[in-house]
Amino acid sequence: MRTIASFSASVNSASASLLTANVRLLTMRAESQQSQGRICLPDGELRQHVGNDVLAGRSAENQPSPTESGGWLSPLRQAITNPVRDSIQAETVAEKWAKSPARPTDITTFGTIATAILKHDGGTVGRLWLVLRANFAGEGQSGMVSTDPQGDESHSLWPSLTENFPQYSKRYLSDLLNRGEGIYWQRDAFGRLWLHGVTKLAGQLGVQRLQGSRVIIPLADLTGKLTKMRTSLQAAFHVSRGNDSPISRATLRDLTGISERSQREQEQENSRLIDSKRNYRLDGVANPVSAENHSFRYQQNSFHFTDKRGMQGEQGVIHLAHQLPNSYTARYARASRGRKRKINRQLNRVNQGARGTEWQQIEPVFCNDGATAVQQVNRGNKEVAYPAYDAHHGTRIWLTLRS
């Protein structure tokens, strides 16, 4: 009997110690939840439960079994099954993002970067970089984007993406983020995205030198349909050139990766973004010999032009003419050149001969007026064209000077 009595006493002592430890754990958990602003029991009810359990711990004989409904787990069970929330609910990250003031409405970039993005992936991933740069890499920002859904809303990734691209699912956006890693951004050990700057992106996309000026593109034109986004990037390229000199669709295809047929379809669908103008050049009065040589040189582009209004001499004179590439204008505004010189120095490219890409090698052939054309001829150019006048239906007539 003594053995049984001593065993019962040791069991009661162990139960009392276990009870005291659980009461302390419950108290510490409640204090931690209160300090973090999380769901917890009211303070008065918590003290009442803790006080009752302490009294029960002092008297081990009266301690109920843990399996009973009113045991020492009842406060924790009530906190889980019947929580009491604070009167002021915590705002979600998405709600804070929607209420955040002064969100950007446009992005400034170079026309060379716009064409490089189009040629690399058609703009599907590149436009995410442009939108994220506008939101997280502006003045006074580091370009760091947090992927934590509970993180700071000023650097949170998903509210920005879901607001700007509501047509995409989170799974597809995650796939785009994975496809752009290493080119447009980089992840660190904590899962955060660090957006690449213009210099690093230019190197990743194979841009040897930035050309033209920067262009202001509204974000609304980048977040809609793919055809509109591609047309807006192409319009940014035309604005960055600084003039409306003719440029062939084949050259645009080489720069942007968009076929000639797709270019025509996109311009028709988004006519408010790009306005095209047809150009024709007069090559002299027609005669049998010159007409044959002209047809051999320009093939199907050669035709006879009758000057009915007498703009180039007598009325009714027939001139030899051929069609030039179209000219393009866009409604976007140009910005300052920014860090263009510094970026070009970082790219470590030296300007030798004809500057830039193919479209800039074509530009010296076309001048804005006759005086500039004469200067180009005197400098050694063998054939220079300049606009004479604008005809009807968006057509421009060009004349030619030869050395």
Alpha helix stretches (DSSP H) within 167-225: 170-180, 198-204
Where do the structural domains in the chain lie, given as residue ranges?
2-81, 99-238, 278-402
User: How far, in Å, CA of 192 to CA of 145, rounded?
Assistant: 6
Phi, psi (deg, nearest 5) at residue 79? -65, -30
Q: Judging by DSSP bridges, how do beta strands 395-402 and 274-285 pair with one another?
A: parallel
User: In the sheet that 383-391 helps form, which strands lie side by side, from edge to edge?
Assistant: 302-307, 317-330, 274-285, 395-402, 383-391
**Range with lowest mean pLDDT among 134-138, 239-243, 247-251, 386-390:** 386-390
Interval 243-294: pLDDT, tens: 888 899 999 999 999 999 999 999 999 999 999 888 888 888 888 888 888 8
Whether the model pTM is above 0.85: no
User: Which residue in the block uniquely carries the two structure tokens 């002299």?
Assistant: 284
**Range with lowest mean pLDDT among 156-165, 212-221, 233-242:** 156-165
The chain-wide mean pLDDT, for the chain, equals 76
CA distances (Å), origin 149, targets 101, 175, 342: 20, 17, 37
